Amino acid sequence: MTEKEKMLAGELYDANYNEELFKERQEAKEICYEFNNLKPSDLKNREKLLKKLFGRTGEKIYIEPNFWCDYGYNISVGENFYMNHNCTILDAAKVEFGDNCFISPNCGFYTSGHPVDYKLRNKGYEYAKTIKIGNNVWIGGNVIVLPGVTIGDNVTIGAGSVVTKDIPSNVVAYGNPCKVIREI
């Protein structure tokens, strides 16, 4: 099994010294760099670069620069997607956004994690777990979503939250760690 196959399967893999994964990250960074340096008025090329970078997109998507990701091809966004400035998606595993998602500034979606065992961590091993965001989700500013988390439909995540566990549909949730505050 290659390191990329291990990565996509959610197993421990070596991302640091693998030529294939390094090359793919560099290609994504080049596209992000180009995207982040376009004129704000150059909407056509901004959209074109996002559609080239992402695995799947809806027709109506809008992302404000600066935006960064690891690979791009593991990112899927639905229709009517908006992401504000300074967001990062570490997409060693799939990151799936449904329709009508609104992401506030300075958010991070991190599929990647590292072993607690320092011996494995020091060898450069990491793992990646899928993140799924449902339909009609609003994520407040400075929110971090950690590996393996699913956020249901019709959810509001309050600003500054660290989402460490799944959040069910039809709720308002916030905090560190993020927890359900009330149903909608």
126-140 pLDDT tens trace? 999 999 999 999 999
Considering the entire predicted model, what is its pTM? 0.96
Please list the residues that pair with 113 across neighbouring strands: 127
CATH number for 78 = 2.160.10.10
Cα torsion angle, 25, 6, 96, 56, sign: positive
- Where residue 16 falls among pLDDT bands split at 50, 70, 90? confident
The catalytically annotated residue of 114, 129, 132, 179 is 114
Instruction: Give yes or no: 85 in active site.
Output: no
User: What's the confidence (pLDDT) of residue 89?
Assistant: 98
Answer for the pair 165, 145: CB distance below 8 angstroms, yes or no: no
**pLDDT over 90 at 170, yes or no:** yes
User: What's the confidence (pLDDT) of residue 15?
Assistant: 86
Interacting residues of 44 by C-beta distance below 8 A, sequence separation 6+ = none
% residues pLDDT > 90 (the chain): 97
Which residues span the domain enclosing 89? Answer: 3-183
Determine how β-strand 125-128 pairs with β-strand 13-14. Answer: antiparallel
User: What's the confidence (pLDDT) of residue 131?
Assistant: 98
The number of domains in the chain is 1
